[in-house]
């Protein structure tokens, strides 16, 4: 299946571009850039990236059936990124629910969903590829494919493969396959965590993922099924 690609040398935010222009664009329109001046992460955090070193893109979803999967699209994209990273023989790659990809406990990719269902969804991805240095004070240590491989990666080849895989697999998503892959790469499995539910804190151990992609947390002899929110590792 074909997709549409727009590339910019510099833009404020690929997510913002698609949110502002979605009425004029087709389903599976991808916007990539060499540099984002106002890159965003979850909860209004800033996504910082060196110009031309990393893969920064967003893509537009206007397909009604695909938008019905909005609650699990972050995990699905994370799985696509993990599969691509593992083609480079990188080990210890995992998905940190709900929207990060890690290598050896270090963040290599972040994912941000925005939009207004049923009109549209925008999925933004920032993947550290060839960046060698990262700012101090990050919430989690960062890494890149280049640092893990001790060599640079061809950005254009990586981008083309990843975009094609996303479009092909999202056109007829096999959610069971995504769920199995997520379970095999669940970073939080067996970790002790703290989660807020209706502003009430619960502490427990992540024991798995249910069939709806919710985290299962064992807390005080009961299993909590978490479908959204922030998880703090203790």
171 and 197 inside one domain? no
How many distinct structural domains can be found in the chain? 2
pLDDT digits (tens, 9 = 90+) for 17-32: 999 999 999 999 999 9
Could you tell me the two tokens for 167?
């479009």
116 and 42 inside one domain? yes
57 and 173 inside one domain? yes
124 and 211 inside one domain? no
Q: Identify the three-state secondary structure at position 100.
A: strand
Any idea what the CATH number is for the domain that residue 206 is in?
Answer: 2.30.30
How confident is residue 199, by pLDDT bands cut at 50, 70 and 90? confident
How confident is residue 197, by pLDDT bands cut at 50, 70 and 90? confident
Q: DSSP character for 10?
A: -
Q: What is the pLDDT of residue 43?
A: 47
How confident is residue 160, by pLDDT bands cut at 50, 70 and 90? very high
Could you tell me the two tokens for 202?
């619960």
pLDDT digits (tens, 9 = 90+) for 120-151: 999 999 999 999 988 877 788 999 999 999 99
Q: What is the pLDDT of residue 228?
A: 86
pLDDT digits (tens, 9 = 90+) for 70-80: 999 999 999 99
Q: What is the pLDDT of residue 39?
A: 61
Does residue 183 have a pLDDT over 90?
yes
Last-in-domain residue among 164, 184, 204: 184
176 and 203 inside one domain? no
Q: What is the pLDDT of residue 218?
A: 97
197 and 135 inside one domain? no
176 and 199 inside one domain? no
41 and 151 inside one domain? yes
Mean pLDDT of the chain: 92
Q: Among 129, 33, 140, which Cα is nearest to 88's?
A: 129
196 and 175 inside one domain? no
The residue-averaged pLDDT of 114-120 equals 95
112 and 201 inside one domain? no
Buried b or exposed e, range 154-168, using 16+ CB within 10 angstroms: ebeebbeebbeebbe
- Residues 6+ positions from 148 with CB-CB distance below 8 Å: 88, 90, 103, 104, 108
Q: Which domain holds residue 207?
A: 192-233
Give the bridge partners for 6, in sequence order: 31
15 and 114 inside one domain? yes
Q: What is the pLDDT of residue 114?
A: 96
Q: What is the pLDDT of residue 51?
A: 72
pLDDT digits (tens, 9 = 90+) for 29-56: 999 999 988 665 544 555 556 677 999 9
- Residues 6+ positions from 56 with CB-CB distance below 8 Å: 14, 32, 33, 34, 35, 36, 39, 47, 49, 125, 126, 127
Any idea what the CATH number is for the domain that residue 39 is in?
Answer: 3.30.930.10
113 and 11 inside one domain? yes
**Percent of the chain predicted with pLDDT > 90:** 83
């Amino acid at each position: 299946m074909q997709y549409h690609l727009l590339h910019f040398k510099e833009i404020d935010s690929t997510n913002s571009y698609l949110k502002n222009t979605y009425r004029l664009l087709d389903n599976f329109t991808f916007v990539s850039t060499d540099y984002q001046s106002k890159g965003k992460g979850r909860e209004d955090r800033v996504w910082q990236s060196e110009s031309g070193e990393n893969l920064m893109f967003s893509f537009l979803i206007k397909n009604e059936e695909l938008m019905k999967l909005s609650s699990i699209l972050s995990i699905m994209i994370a799985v696509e990124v993990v599969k691509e990273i593992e083609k480079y023989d990188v080990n210890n790659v995992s998905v940190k629910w709900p929207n990060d990809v890690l290598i050896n406990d270090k963040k290599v990719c972040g994912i941000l969903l925005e939009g207004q269902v049923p009109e549209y969804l925008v999925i933004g991805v920032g993947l550290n590829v060839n960046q060698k240095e990262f700012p101090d004070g990050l919430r989690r240590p960062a890494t890149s494919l280049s640092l893990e491989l001790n060599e640079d990666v061809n950005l254009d080849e990586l981008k083309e493969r990843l975009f094609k895989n996303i479009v092909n697999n999202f056109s007829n998503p096999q959610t069971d396959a995504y769920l199995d892959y997520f379970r095999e790469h669940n970073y939080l499995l067996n970790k002790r965590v703290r989660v807020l539910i209706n502003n009430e804190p619960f502490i427990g151990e992540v024991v798995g993922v249910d069939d709806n992609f919710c985290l299962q947390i064992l807390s005080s002899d009961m299993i909590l099924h978490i479908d959204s929110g922030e998880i703090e590792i203790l």
